[in-house]
Amino acid sequence: MKITDKTVVQFHYTLKDEAGEQLESSFDSNPLAYLHGQKNMLVGVENSLTGKETGDKYSITLQPEDAYGVYQEDAVQRIPAKHLQGSAGNTKWKAGMVAVVQTEQGQRQVTVIKSGKFIVTVDMNSPLAGKVLTFDIEVVDVRAATDEEVEHGHAHGVGGHQH
Ligand code: ZN
């Protein structure tokens, strides 16, 4: 079946920068799973998947404005430490660590610049901001979403939300 709104898609990807250097890959673990049409995925990637089906392999190159944004010089913000999520867990944040914050536009990766007890100064630019990115994509599975998934607005099961 083809990828349309209200389908759950599993796909593998390799992400490369403009120089062709690999930044991320899902091929050595589980594919990603997401509910199509809900902007749960990078929009440029999600749009490129519309109409594709299981077994399709292709590459898409996104300009920064269609991917993680143009680098903003003034995107430094002070955020309550409790709003940061990521690998530091309960330990203290340190400069250079990457954290995740929830924004009105969804999850965002940020880089810690300075850490205080309650307030952390972060660079809101994604580590991938300003980069031209190429995704090599392989569609692994496409199925109709369940009523529950449509209601929740996300995919369940392997690669999706576990709850
Ligand atoms: Zn759910």
**How far, in Å, from the CA of 157 to the mean position of ligand 1?**
9
pTM reported for the whole predicted model: 0.76
The domain 7-68+129-152 is classified under which CATH number: 3.30.1330.40, 3.10.50.40, 1.10.540.10, 1.10.150.20?
3.10.50.40
For the stretch 109-144, pLDDT in tens is: 889 999 988 999 999 988 889 999 999 999 999 999
Residue 43 Cα to ligand 1 middle (Å): 21
- CATH class, domain 76-123, is mainly beta
Q: Domain spans of the chain?
A: 7-68+129-152, 76-123
Distance 148 CA to ligand 1 centre (A): 7
- What is the reported pLDDT for 90? 59
Q: What's the 160 CA to ligand 1 centre distance in angstroms?
A: 9
131 C-alpha vs ligand 1 centroid, how far in Å?
32
Tokens 């995925």, located at residue: 41
d(CA 34, ligand 1 centre) in Å: 11
